[in-house]
Chains A and B, each alone.
Chain A
Amino acid sequence: MKFKTFAAFVGPSVFLMFLFIAAPLVSVFVGSFQLTQPVLDQIEEETCTPGFLAQTCTTTMVTRPALDEYGHIVTTTEWVGWLNYQRVLNPEAAWAAISSFDWGALMQINFWSALRFTLMFTLVTLPLVIGVGLAIALAVNNAAKSIRGPVIFVSLLPFIITPVIGALSIRWLFIGDGILTTALEHWLNRDIAMFAQAWTIELMMLFFRVWHVAPFAFVIFYAGLQTVNQDTLESAIIDGANRWDRLRYVIVPHLMPLIIFIALIHLMDTYRVFEEIVGFTSQAHVISLQWLTYDFLQPDDAGNRAFGRASASAMLTMVGIVVLLIPLLRRTWRDHKGGSY
């Protein structure tokens, strides 16, 4: 294919990606070093109240945002260096907490507690999703042909449902005296409030994410299981391998590329955990990195959005995912250079 034709075919897609993905990245990078705030004027204001004989007047200094001739608030944008990053990371307080081994104080700073949750969430769900997905795939592969269709249909439901709605549907089972909370209380014989402390909410979030993503792993593993070489399995039996050995030495190595693929996709998707926070309204107890940026971008009561801090936390979030992906990118690059691609 000539370069010109190739460019014509790929052009629109690449143009869109540059305009809406690469360009915003640059703008976020620049914006993270800038601070936009309203220009404030100090005005001397005299307020008088009627009194006997003479009015009582007091003069006060009032700070007001300056307005231009249209009545809009005048804002200035200035370069502030690392100020936004400092405000997000809060390095002094963080360092003080670390050097005195005060975990609780470190978790008081939004960014660090968001980082802790995001990493914990990503790393804990990863093996669970792969394990549960593999187990369902093995079970379906063992089941009679007639029930496979309905089982796949039911399994796809958690995967396809809107994440916010899925999280809500689990929350409604537990909220207040929801049926599952009542059942748990009855079983454990004690009072339970699932939304009063962080760890129960985190438990529900972990459950939701595994519930939501395991079907994806299942479908891929199930497709992979159809191509397992039956001859290898039979020779393994002749060599005296039991079921566990066969799973361990024949089936799992065969599925290894798929496991890596799922791990990669899961890493990308779970690192941006966000919908759970909205669905479980957990921002008072647990927040994630993406939610932190979202929160900065939401207008506050005065209608201002903290773009500077949002950009800084967005850049930090991005650094995190790049660090997680570097080993993978290096491997792809080696494969490409080796010509095996």
Chain B
Amino acid sequence: MSTPRALRQPLGLRLTFAGFLAFWCLLAAFPIFWIGVMSFKSPVDAFAANPLDVIFGPATRAAGNGLSLLDIALGLLVLVCTVRLAMRWLPRMVSSYSPGGQMIFGWVIASVGYALSFVVVFFVILPALLGVLNPLLGPLGHPVLGLTTAHYQSVWIENAFYHNFINSLIVTGGVVTISLTVGTLAGFALARSGSNLAFWILILALVFRALPHSVLVAGYLPVFVNSAEILRPYLGDAAPTLYGQPWAVIAVLVSINQPFTIWMLRSFFQNIPNDLDEAARVDGCTHFQAFRWVIMPVMWPGVITTGLFSFLLAYNDFLVTSLLLDQSNQTMVPAIASYFNRETTTTDQVEAVAAAVSITAPLFLLVMIFQRQIVSGLTAGAVKG
């Protein structure tokens, strides 16, 4: 033991800590795990009072939808192989095949291709293979775990949830790109300037950060709804109605996000040594050139982290998107509210659960891939700010 004896902890304390930690992990993961389980069951099972019924789904199984032990074993095998390959093999392939300096595009192409081949293997080849194998194996091939994807099918295909998904993609994509472009410039200047003006901009941004969003939306709505009439004298008949336009929502979310973005990027830029761009300035660069050629190559970790938080803000937003977008342009999160306005049957409720899981799944992937960046982003803001 390397720890000194005085610092070693008594058994009781260690057990308390371990117990507390286990309890917290259970608490943190359980609701999310549970909606995942519920979304695959028939309504009777999903809202059953007995938790074992929810997990094993007898009613779902009785309806002929179930997994046998073999299904579970093979499915898990494929999943584990997928994750291992993604961790080990994929980075090597990307770095050896993508041309120098184009790593990002290499990653984009590789991950899209990888995801597609996973979908083909998991949802097409595997079921076909198991359909042949299950009847041959007798007891091993009997379904033991009820599971149905019917709710996902009705959410995504019948209720056209992909439409909301595309809207979410447009809005989040737009918000992340624009707020990072605008924010990096401002964050850089604020980090390098010690003037009073910079201080006041930051304080003002802090005050803006505190404003409840409903206050701002109350300001936008009358203008957005009547924008065609307000703008007509200047733009003629081309004057747009801003209400319901995704790009208007993008502009709004970018601005709401700006205070946070510039604070965070400023703290990242302060970590980049001043000497770097000063040297470039001595060599005759302007501020813009120094930014473009010296700072940009080294700023990516901070930008990716800030981008993640911009993504979360735009993706998770309910208030702004539900008030400023109309039904035809709705993003995913407000669209789920329509499920419980009509939640009359339990089937509708399980469909709402399936929609909720569909919204959560990308976030889950995000934490898996970017855990380190998220943690560093959270701490960067705190330690500096």
A residues apposed to B, CB below 8 Å: 1, 3, 5-6, 8-10, 12-14, 16-17, 19-28, 31, 36, 135-136, 138-140, 142-143, 149, 151-158, 160-166, 168-170, 172-173, 175-179, 182, 211, 215-216, 219-220, 223-224, 237, 243, 258, 261-262, 268, 271-272, 274-275, 278, 281, 289-291, 293-294, 296-298, 305, 307, 310-311, 314-315, 317-318, 321, 325, 329, 332, 336, 341
The reply to whether A165 and B255 contact each other, CB–CB distance below 8 Å, is no
* Given A10-B189, A170-B31, A220-B378; A21-B255 close (CB under 8 Å): yes
The reply to whether B214 and A274 contact each other, CB–CB distance below 8 Å, is yes
Chain A residue nearest in CB terms to B25: A154
Measured CA separation A306–B302 after assembly (Å) = 43
10 CB-based A-B contacts, threshold 8 Å = A19-B255, A20-B254, A24-B215, A155-B25, A156-B375, A162-B360, A165-B336, A290-B212, A314-B212, A318-B211
Which among B24, B254, B262 has the greatest number of chain A C-beta atoms within 10 A?
B24
What is the minimal beta-carbon distance from B179 to any residue of chain A, in angstroms? Answer: 9
Which residues of A have CB within 8 Å of B333?
162, 164-165
Other-chain residue from B32, B183, B186, B251 in contact with A157 (beta carbon distance below 8 A): B32
Q: Is B382 an interface residue (CB 8 A)?
A: yes
Which residues of B have CB within 8 Å of A296?
218
The contact size tier of chain B is 35 or more
Other-chain residue from B14, B185, B216 in contact with A9 (beta carbon distance below 8 A): B185
Other-chain residue from B199, B220, B258 in contact with A24 (beta carbon distance below 8 A): B220
The reply to whether B214 and A307 contact each other, CB–CB distance below 8 Å, is no
The reply to whether B32 and A161 contact each other, CB–CB distance below 8 Å, is yes
What is the minimal beta-carbon distance from A231 to any residue of chain B, in angstroms? Answer: 13
B residues apposed to A, CB below 8 Å: 6-7, 9, 13-14, 17-18, 20-21, 24-25, 27-29, 31-32, 34-35, 38, 47-51, 54, 182-183, 185-186, 188-190, 192-193, 195, 197-199, 201, 203-205, 207-223, 225, 251-252, 254-256, 258-259, 262, 286-288, 291, 312, 315-316, 318-319, 323, 333, 336-337, 340, 349, 352-353, 356, 359-360, 363-364, 366-368, 371, 374-375, 378-379, 382-383, 385
What is the minimal beta-carbon distance from A187 to any residue of chain B, in angstroms? Answer: 14
Chain B residue nearest in CB terms to A281: B340
The reply to whether B360 and A278 contact each other, CB–CB distance below 8 Å, is no
* Given A6-B195, A219-B375; A307-B255 close (CB under 8 Å): no
The reply to whether A1 and B47 contact each other, CB–CB distance below 8 Å, is no
The reply to whether A21 and B216 contact each other, CB–CB distance below 8 Å, is yes
Measured CA separation A322–B212 after assembly (Å) = 11
The reply to whether B189 and A152 contact each other, CB–CB distance below 8 Å, is no
The reply to whether B185 and A223 contact each other, CB–CB distance below 8 Å, is no
Closest 5 CB pairs of A and B: A24-B219, A20-B255, A9-B189, A13-B186, A272-B212
The reply to whether B336 and A164 contact each other, CB–CB distance below 8 Å, is yes
Measured CA separation A139–B333 after assembly (Å) = 34
Chain B residue nearest in CB terms to A30: B219
Which residues of B have CB within 8 Å of A158?
28, 31-32
Measured CA separation A224–B375 after assembly (Å) = 12
The reply to whether A215 and B221 contact each other, CB–CB distance below 8 Å, is no
* Given A155-B28, A223-B382, A223-B383; A164-B214 close (CB under 8 Å): no
Measured CA separation A157–B366 after assembly (Å) = 10
Measured CA separation A258–B18 after assembly (Å) = 25
Other-chain residue from B9, B255, B368 in contact with A17 (beta carbon distance below 8 A): B255
The reply to whether A311 and B9 contact each other, CB–CB distance below 8 Å, is no
Which residues of A have CB within 8 Å of B29?
154, 157
